[in-house]
Structure 1
């Protein structure tokens, strides 16, 4: 009987949507670190989350200077905004990190302004 369970799991992994598989893997890593899930957090909460940067954008216009990054923890997306910065070394798509800060609600959803962060490299995973 154990082979049947293994075959079901293998078949599911081979036929599963890659986005879902990626989200599941990131969510597992997040649970392993003891971090909070973004989907469970509300505006005003002090949060610590672990996940991956999906996209990074720099805005160099004087009024809106800063770095914006789309952070995904396997359950929800949170926008990270560092104000007054043109570039932050290491903040790039695909990097895994742990962020800490107060969750706010922006025009497009959840946002953390000027979060504390800890980057992880390939050797840390």
Structure 2
């Protein structure tokens, strides 16, 4: 009975948390690119990941100058830090990108310092 399966999927989509739906979508896109999953990465690993920026923050104070971004690939969050930069054109929340670098751990969170990055086209 095909309608039962359709109704089940529709009900799931209507009652599912939007964050879960978004995470699932991002994880599928990341998997399609062949990138590594952030949840599988550990300290010291050289990685290439694909995902979205959730937040971007700049700090212009001399001691802490840099750009920080929260990167999410649908499985885990990785903090990206570009040291010595006041801003980076194109880095904004919601933007998709591919990053490459070595994973470190700082204050219990995964971090990549000065990652190579490739901005992906916008969906708009």
Give the structure-2-normalised TM-score.
0.96
Report the Cα distance in structure 2 between the residues aligned to 1:6 and 1:99, rounded to whole angstroms: 37
Report the Cα distance in structure 1 between the residues aligned to 2:122 and 2:13, rounded to whole angstroms: 23
Residue 48 of structure 2 aligns to a residue in which SS? strand
Indicate the RMSD between aligned Cα atoms, in angstroms.
1.2
Structure 1 gaps of 5+ residues are none
> How many equivalent pairs are there?
124
Moved over 3 A (4+): none
> Who is 2:63 aligned against?
63
Residue 2 (structure 1) shift: 2.2
Structure 2 gaps of 5+ residues are none
Report the Cα distance in structure 1 between the residues aligned to 2:6 and 2:50, rounded to whole angstroms: 29
Residue 63 of structure 2 aligns to a residue in which SS? coil
Residue 64 of structure 2 aligns to a residue in which SS? coil
Give the structure-1-normalised TM-score.
0.95
Q: Deviations over 1:44-80 (max 9, x none)?
A: 0000111100000001011111000000000000000
| Alpha-carbon spacing, 1:120–1:75, altered in 2? closer, same or farther (3 Å) | same
Write the mapping of 1:1-125 to structure 2, written as runs, cut at 5 A: 1-123=1-123
